Amino acid sequence: MRATPSSGRRLPRIALAAVVAAASLAGCFRNGSPTIVPPPGENIPLQITNHHYLDITVYAIHDGQRTRLGVAGGSAHTKMVLPARLLGVGRQLRLYGDPIGSSELAITEVIVVQPGQFIEWLLESGLARSTVGVY
């Protein structure tokens, strides 16, 4: 029996496909456990209305660390962008406001943000009365 040209070509293609599949699967495992690479996320818009008379330095608390986002001017509206990389797997964080020249602080409860949502933080003159919303 003679091998036909098409049957002779299939074996190398199938072998090549198996090698490529095995190599790509091998890259998904490190130390015996699978790793999942999340798709790149969208940045989250952050709108701050500051009714306090002092400028407030705004931070995001995520994954056990604090990252500075910017300064919300006193008695002003400020728009910022929260980089998607700051959200962990649970997509949760806290906002932390530190008024420049005061020992008073503003900190939110844990916020969960999904793709396509934005955060609105209302900082009151008494920072303990501040509110946050995710829309």
Higher pLDDT: 39 or 101? It is: 101
Q: Whole-model pTM above 0.75?
A: no
Q: Residues 121-135: what's their mean pLDDT?
A: 96
Q: How confident is the model at residue 89 (pLDDT cuts 50, 70, 90)?
A: confident
Distance CA 81, CA 46 (A): 6
Cβ of 108: how many Cβ atoms within 10 Å?
17
Q: Does domain 44-134 have CATH number 2.60.40?
A: yes
Token pair for 24:
């790509």
The tens digit of pLDDT for each residue in 34-43 reads 544 445 578 9
Distance CA 94, CA 63 (A): 10
Q: Residues 38-49: what's their mean pLDDT?
A: 81
Q: Where do the DSSP E strands lie in 9-135?
A: 29-30, 33-34, 44-50, 56-62, 65-72, 76-82, 92-99, 106-107, 111-112, 119-123, 131-134
Domain-by-domain residue ranges, the chain?
Answer: 5-34, 44-134
Higher pLDDT: 2 or 102? It is: 102
